[in-house]
Amino acid sequence: MKNQIIGIVPFSFAANDRFQAARDHQGEAQLLRALFDETRIAFRFRMLELLNAHSLKAQGDRNFSMIYLVSERMPPEHRRRLDEIVSDVPGVRIIALPQMPLADAVRRAFEQVIDPNAEHVSLFRLDDDDALAVDFIGSLRRRARRLITAGLIQKPTVLSATRGVYWKNDGKGRSQLIDICDRVPLSMGYTIVSPRGDIGHHYLKGHRDAAMFYPCFMDPSRIMYVRSVHGDNDGGISNLNRGRVLEAGRAREVMRRRFDLDADLLLAPEGALEGKTFSQRAS
């Protein structure tokens, strides 16, 4: 029984839908100028390096593939920087595509990596400024195997870890790490497990509405993700007041054990992360 695990990170991909930037900027040229604005892209690279790529390099189970989806018009210097940051991510593939709807681009990218001999595929997504726990891949593999063995993956099925840490960076030196559990499937590590002949793809349905379209298995038992909250978020934030702020000692222990991260770098951000107040939205 082969279950192939593949993740995808859209990194400043110039989709013509879904993202706020695509709604705010008319035409691909204007959108690309916004996406690759020097201040914005410096911040996105720092978040990618600190959270996203770091958490994927730290996975205990390294038998997975990871796609970084980029615009075919990404400036060469930024492509080189991306190559440097993600070079040690297991099974990494950087796939450059022209502008198109995000769901179409994600489908095309996955199709380039899916093994035709796989019996099942587990496709997960992650934003470039978020992180996954160091045992995410291993946990996903075990959970998917149990469901497949039990005969519960007859069609695309969602797996979602609903407990994690929100890193609230307000750009004014008041960063917090907040332990939160949500009530619906979340985007961080959102996974669709499918039989090879009936693959469910991402971004066709909103992840918060997944239970309207797919069987869903949600796990609130362990902290499995970090979501960053800052001025350049594309999605909304609705549940910060339901969480519990981690005091410094507990934050250090959780971030080190679950993510191999130094909590002090997040609680006292510096450089490109300090004073982060800009937005990609059109003024």
Segment 193-209 mean pLDDT: 86
Contact of 7 with 126, CB cutoff 8 Å: yes
Residue 106 has pLDDT above 50, yes or no: yes
Residue 240 has pLDDT above 90, yes or no: no
In a domain, 110, yes or no: yes
Contact of 52 with 127, CB cutoff 8 Å: yes
- Number of domains, the chain: 1
Structural element, H or E, at residue 40: helix 38-47
Contact of 6 with 66, CB cutoff 8 Å: yes
For residue range 252-282, list pLDDT tens digits in order: 999 999 999 999 999 987 665 654 443 444 3
pTM score over 0.85: yes
Indicate the pairing of strand 3-10 with strand 65-71: parallel
The 3-state DSSP composition of the chain as helix, strand, coil percent (nearest 5) reads 35, 20, 45
d(CA 16, CA 32): 11
- The DSSP line for 231-269 is TT-SS----GGGSEEPPHHHHHHHHHHHH---HHHHHS-
In a domain, 260, yes or no: yes
For residue range 155-197, list pLDDT tens digits in order: 999 999 999 999 988 766 678 999 999 888 888 999 999 999 9
In a domain, 281, yes or no: no
In our burial notation (b when 16+ CB lie closer than 10 A, e otherwise), range 265-276 reads: ebbebeebbeeb
24 pLDDT tier (thresholds 50, 70, 90): low
Average confidence score pLDDT of the chain: 89
In a domain, 19, yes or no: yes
27 pLDDT tier (thresholds 50, 70, 90): confident
What percentage of the chain exceeds 90 in pLDDT?
72
At 26 the pLDDT is: 63
Q: What CATH number should be reported for the domain holding residue 173?
A: 3.90.550
Task: Kindly report the backbone phi and psi dihedral angles of residue 194, in degrees, each rounded to the nearest multiple of 5, phi listed first.
Answer: -140, 150
For residue range 80-103, list pLDDT tens digits in order: 999 999 999 999 999 999 999 999
**Residue-range definition of the domain harbouring residue 58:** 3-273
For residue range 122-159, list pLDDT tens digits in order: 999 999 999 999 999 999 999 999 999 999 999 999 99
Q: Tell me which DSSP letter residue 67 carries.
A: E
The sheet carrying 176-181 orders its strands as 130-132, 225-229, 163-168, 176-181, 244-245
